Structure 1
């Protein structure tokens, strides 16, 4: 099976993530997408991260009705911070029956050269890059057999915007899967950001 690895903090997961993943499983040669909830991104401050278990719970709730989308806590057991190359290699070792690829945004592609062992990622895995507003996506000719620029819909919803808006008392029900919205309300999350 061809599995796309969509790694992120998902703090919280929102409808933009679902639209993108749904598009990819229907229009790209990927059978399933595994949403890997990242405990700590080495290139980001984690001061606004809520507990990883809460983020995993929200991700599981969001994906319950999508058979091709899976929530994963795989990185929870790996050394921290989470480096993508270590995650991909560990996934491939644990699941040799699958062919793993990486899904990233054009903004991450711009910084890809800063990622640990990024050349090893390119050598060992296919990379799918989705477009972002205000980011020009250019894949060098020599990498086009390993890196594919997707023409997926651009939905500019950020988890930061959602967190900040909730903290301001705004109701963002339309931006979140219904079960995630209820979970955030029930647990009173993001009120103190």
Structure 2
């Protein structure tokens, strides 16, 4: 089975994440998309993150009605801070029957050469890249790589930061989140 790994802090998950994941599951050769909740991104400050299990529960709630999209907390048991290469090695050992590939925004592809062991990643895994903005002028060199697939997914300009700030300002963000995830977030009074 061909699995696309969509990593994120999902702090919180929103419809933009689901739109991309669903588009990859339906319009690429991936069989499933796993939303991998990262416990701690080396580039983000940990204090801004909701607790790991709550962010995972939001993803569980959000993906319940999408059979091709699976929540994953696989990184929770790995040493922190974790790097994508370590997760890929672990997943290949744990699920040898699957082929794992990465899903990332075009902006992440630009910084991909800064990732730990990025050469090993692209040697063994394909990259499924989606646009983040409508006008793309300076494409990274890696776009020409045979293992990079550009998937023209819808552009969604919603961010978790926007949602967190809107909640603090007592704005209604219900339309920006999957119903069940919003209900859990609201019930738990997160980000207020």
Q: TM-score, normalised by structure 2?
A: 0.95
In 2: Cα distance, 1:147 partner to 1:160 partner: 28
Superposition CA RMSD, Å: 1.4
2:171 counterpart residue number = 170
Q: Which runs of 4+ in 1 moved over 4 A?
A: 134-137
Q: Is the 8 A contact 2:110 2:140 kept in 1?
A: no
1:93 counterpart residue number = 93
In 1: Cα distance, 2:9 partner to 2:129 partner: 18
Q: Measured at CA, do residues 75 and 87 of structure 1 come closer, stay the same or move farther in structure 2, by a change above 3 Å? A: same
Q: TM-score, normalised by structure 1?
A: 0.95
Count of residues in correspondence between the two structures? 191
Q: Give structure 1 stretches of 5+ with no counterpart.
A: none
Q: Give structure 2 stretches of 5+ with no counterpart.
A: none
Q: Is the 8 A contact 1:62 1:180 kept in 2?
A: yes
**3-state DSSP class of the match of 2:6?**
strand
Q: Is the 8 A contact 1:41 1:82 kept in 2?
A: yes
Listed as ranges, the matches of 1:31-110 within 5 Å are: 31-110=31-110
- Deviation, 1:171, is 0.5
Listed as ranges, the matches of 1:174-185 within 5 Å are: 174-185=175-186
Q: Is the 8 A contact 1:106 1:136 kept in 2?
A: no
1:11 counterpart residue number = 11
